[in-house]
Amino acid sequence: MADAMLNQASLSHAESYVPEDEVITAARERAAELGCVPIGPAGGATLRVLAAATRATNVVEVGTGAGVSGLYLMGGMAEGGQFISIDIEGENQRAAREAFAEAGIPSTRYRLINGSAPDVLPRMRDETYDLVFVDADKTAYGVYFEQALRMLRPGGVMAFDNALWHDRVADPSQRDPDTTTLRELGRTVRDDPRLIAALLPVGDGLLVAAKR
């Protein structure tokens, strides 16, 4: 029991290790009003590090939400980089625009595409993007994975939020469609020889992989 308590305390410490500013906090509040759940603080900080480490100039996000993850990603991208975010919900993207404006991010730095990602992604170029982040419909993660692998340049990184899915992925008795898809995605990413993968226990789980 003591070890379990220590583990939870450590996870909580890691989650709050990098404090969030007022702009991200306000974006989280809008997300709650809209009923969407953005990536957590530790996951967001990880995305910012990945964008910085890859010196990302071209980033694609599937699932705009209220702009929380976009703020983190653009916070780590190289100066002058282009951020593209796809979401089927126009109201979510309006909230994201408000968040980006509050952060002082010029509209020339990002493009918000209102549409279905399975329709939009195939029109994007091969081996062009530095980072692809996915936080959207879980049952479509397999589709997004194939597109991300095609779109990423060698050395580029893909990241999928909710990879542990409320502790359900690790429980073999859980077989609902979302959990099954995420479990299969984890195996696919891990076993693909074109990728170097890791499953990070931040927030609800962040599955990351670098393209060889």
Mean pLDDT for the stretch of residues 109-123: 98
Count how many domains the chain has: 1
pLDDT for residue 3 is more than 60: no
Q: Give the pLDDT score at 7.
A: 84
What band does 5 get if pLDDT is binned at 50, 70 and 90? Answer: low
Q: Are 185 and 142 in contact (CB under 8 A)?
A: yes
Mean pLDDT for the stretch of residues 204-212: 98
Tell me which of 157 and 2 has the higher pLDDT. 157
pTM for the full predicted model: 0.95
DSSP 109: G
Mean pLDDT for the stretch of residues 133-138: 97
pLDDT for residue 121 is more than 80: yes
Q: Give the pLDDT score at 163.
A: 98
Range of the domain at 35: 2-211
Strand order in the sheet with 110-114: 110-114, 82-87, 58-62, 129-134, 152-161, 206-211, 195-200
**Mean predicted lDDT score pLDDT of the chain:** 96
pLDDT for residue 28 is more than 60: yes
Rounded to whole angstroms, how far apart are CA atoms 27 and 21? 10
DSSP 199: E
Q: Give the pLDDT score at 142.
A: 97
What band does 4 get if pLDDT is binned at 50, 70 and 90? Answer: low
Q: Give the pLDDT score at 149.
A: 98
73-92: per-residue pLDDT in tens?
A: 999 999 999 999 999 999 99
Q: What is the CATH number of the domain that holds 79?
A: 3.40.50.150
Kindly tell me the sign of the dihedral angle through the C-alpha atoms of 186, 47, 102, 78.
Answer: negative
Q: Give the pLDDT score at 6.
A: 57
pLDDT for residue 37 is more than 70: yes
Cα of 3 vs its chain's centroid, Å: 30
Q: Give the pLDDT score at 8.
A: 86
